[in-house]
Structure 1
């Protein structure tokens, strides 16, 4: 432990020196002796405030309240920074104060770990409307696969809040200023969404380039056990760490999202948000695309989207990834027979899209989830062992199967 502490202290000193010298996002020496810049270890895609599948606080916003949010990171580092998004805000977001700490139980944090966030050295700061900002470096070592708690005190009325609807984990709210509380007693209200919080980055780590899992509710983790971190990106991060090849795995899924259609409730279409949510993440090397089932299934009741249009959308994602120098992996669309999306027309579209993903050679690699997750008795239906119950979304075992279907050799 003493040797490790000295190594962390030495690395942190180099990082601080680099930041002080103005090189910030330039390179700092890692504990392994190689160059490392900022790398995202956790992320969530911002959404417009509004009604979603579960009750949330986005439309009302906050005033004289403290919001406490817990996230499970994927890789560690010797220091961190927090990114906040007001991209869908119509007025500046005034943050009266904020902290980050190591998580204890529920809304409580570990004593001695609370660190105040600053922006340009100030504890109170503003996030402009339509923008995202990153905090200054926080000298808090981050543990791989550990949990961090980010707490925002919002004294002035915020108006409707940029948020991420399906956190699949609790967030907490208290009246008044409780940003530095160690205990969680003041946080008497809960929701299952994240507010303003869009990323946590680390510096000084020894991991490889990160992976963005890009998609819809199958990436977001709908159907997994709430609060258990059993979404497929979580499972993939655990798998890579256990194999001694740790990488950041960033969940950029939005429930209900489509490749080709914008929605005020379900997020900007994939081709529009890909640059921000996938390519814009610090340290990313690979993107896994699992999206298109909503374009097909919602064609029955909303905008009709053909298989050719879905394929054209995937081609645009590939084009953007290649232009950004990022490896891109395509996942076939899992079975959906028995779900509300299923009929002969939608199944034919799914088959056509999957045949293209599987055989076109346009993706750098393919994860064939259609075959991995299918029932042995009916290839158009999910294996009952993986079905959350609606014949479309996966349970914990299903998301684990997705993570193990990814070949680590395909990741950059």
Structure 2
């Protein structure tokens, strides 16, 4: 991976992560309390590692038409994802968190990706659920398939295909995939050519995880990247896997230390307030999304710019005005508490520049600066990564460096996401 940082910025990009002490990576057998949501304690040592993940969202069309509101009936959905770590067995996770009725999966397969909707001949593996080919996922529930022999390497693309014979109703999904999903009429779950997959979408549907076992690592060394649209990868390329968690996984693999970097960012998500279409407030969904991943040792938190910026926008679905820095800090302390209760190390990230964006105002900039100073100086997190300084323009530190700006002065470009990944000291992980 070649850096696009100007040479004089490399030192600044790497200066900001400082370990403040490691915690013992032993997961207690307690569940999160009611203030944190409810989730099974999967973060201890198991035979499985998360290889890819996406946080579920309620059916909605915040950024244009998709398939979530209508759902599926006698249709096959094919989705391509890149795994961060390899193994010799695989299983998938499906979510009906926001469904209104039980979700019937009639058939599911996993295969090695060829090109587009096509898969490599001979690589298709049928998936079962408790030895059955079909499964009903209860309302609000999640289900994992049985493991199947399936060899995949780190950073390899795999294709998951779901056949949905019965009407699903509105479907749980992930809005911004920065990837192409495919749909066909009827059952094409074992097709290899992809010729029948004539419809496409820019979201992921029902699929929230791919896990592997039998890989080179038996350690509890997975990483969760938790946050909003900047973690989600808004501004990155479609089907290019250049979000910052992707770039971090590439750095780790290039250094001979491949491990999963699981992306639990949601565009529009706030830490302290619920938004109907953006996955629920971060202090609640953290337990459901980040803390349910197996064999994770570290979480990187980048969250809060939407809490600050939503007041500027005055959106109708943000009825509570005036999130203060103290409230934002309290939310981050709650995430740290939850992470440590599960034996995870927590890395805090500073909020990136917003000058010139729709969030720009003197009041918001003052809040961003005050929060970033707390992250840097408080010692609350086990380590800090200073994304703010890594991306800022030295001539105007409140603004993204132009090469790191996707164009809206809020979301990084592909080069900006690389700079974020490079700002993380791999030894801290």
2:254 matched to 1:238? no
Q: For residues 3-152 of structure 1, what are the structure 2 equivalents within 5 Å?
A: 37-152=47-162
Find the residue that maps to 2:87 and give its secondary structure: coil
**Equivalent in the alignment of 1:7:** none
Deviations 1:166-194 (A, max 9, x none): 00000000101100000111000000101
Aligned partner (choices 394, 406, 411) of residue 424 of structure 2: 406
Q: Structure 1: which 5+ runs fail to align?
A: 1-24, 28-34
Find the residue that maps to 2:148 and give its secondary structure: coil
Find the residue that maps to 2:209 and give its secondary structure: strand
Find the residue that maps to 2:212 and give its secondary structure: strand
Deviations 1:335-386 (A, max 9, x none): 1000000101100110111010010000000001111110010010000010
Tell me which of the two structures has the higher relative contact order, counting C-alpha pairs closer than 8 angstroms and 6 or more residues apart: 2
**Equivalent in the alignment of 1:3:** none
**Equivalent in the alignment of 1:309:** 327
**Equivalent in the alignment of 2:230:** 218
Q: Structure 2: which 5+ runs fail to align?
A: 1-41
Aligned partner (choices 354, 357, 360) of residue 336 of structure 1: 354
Alignment TM-score, normalising by the size of structure 1 = 0.91
Deviating 4+ runs (over 2 angstroms): none
2:386 matched to 1:368? yes
Task: State whether residues 26 and 37 of structure 1, in contact with CA within 8 Å, keep that contact through their aligned partners in structure 2.
Answer: no
Find the residue that maps to 1:234 and give its secondary structure: helix
Alpha-carbon shift at residue 264 of structure 1 (Å):
1.0
CA distance in 1 between partners of 2:252 and 2:105 (Å): 36
CA distance in 1 between partners of 2:64 and 2:325 (Å): 30
**Equivalent in the alignment of 2:372:** 354
Alpha-carbon shift at residue 138 of structure 1 (Å):
1.1
Task: State whether residues 36 and 204 of structure 1, in contact with CA within 8 Å, keep that contact through their aligned partners in structure 2.
Answer: no
2:271 matched to 1:253? no
Deviations 1:307-326 (A, max 9, x none): 11111110100010011110
Find the residue that maps to 1:247 and give its secondary structure: coil
CA distance in 2 between partners of 1:26 and 1:364 (Å): 18
CA distance in 2 between partners of 1:387 and 1:168 (Å): 17
Alignment TM-score, normalising by the size of structure 2 = 0.87
Alpha-carbon shift at residue 90 of structure 1 (Å):
1.6
Find the residue that maps to 1:311 and give its secondary structure: helix
Find the residue that maps to 1:356 and give its secondary structure: helix
CA distance in 2 between partners of 1:210 and 1:265 (Å): 28
Task: State whether residues 36 and 205 of structure 1, in contact with CA within 8 Å, keep that contact through their aligned partners in structure 2.
Answer: no
Find the residue that maps to 1:379 and give its secondary structure: strand
Deviations 1:92-115 (A, max 9, x none): 101111111000000000000000
Deviations 1:7-34 (A, max 9, x none): xxxxxxxxxxxxxxxxxx999xxxxxxx
CA distance in 1 between partners of 2:391 and 2:65 (Å): 31
Aligned partner (choices 360, 382, 385) of residue 403 of structure 2: 385
CA distance in 1 between partners of 2:288 and 2:294 (Å): 11
CA distance in 1 between partners of 2:356 and 2:236 (Å): 19
2:191 matched to 1:178? no
Deviations 1:151-179 (A, max 9, x none): 11101100000000000000000101100
CA distance in 1 between partners of 2:134 and 2:334 (Å): 40
**Equivalent in the alignment of 2:299:** 287
CA distance in 2 between partners of 1:392 and 1:283 (Å): 33
Find the residue that maps to 2:81 and give its secondary structure: strand
Q: Answer with 351-360 or 203-212: which moved more.
A: 203-212
Assess, with a 3 A threshold, how the Cα gap between structure 1 residues 36 and 47 changes in structure 2: closer, same or farther: closer
2:172 matched to 1:162? yes
Alpha-carbon shift at residue 54 of structure 1 (Å):
3.5
**Equivalent in the alignment of 1:8:** none
Assess, with a 3 A threshold, how the Cα gap between structure 1 residues 108 and 289 changes in structure 2: closer, same or farther: same
CA distance in 2 between partners of 1:42 and 1:50 (Å): 23
Alpha-carbon shift at residue 205 of structure 1 (Å):
1.2
Find the residue that maps to 1:141 and give its secondary structure: strand
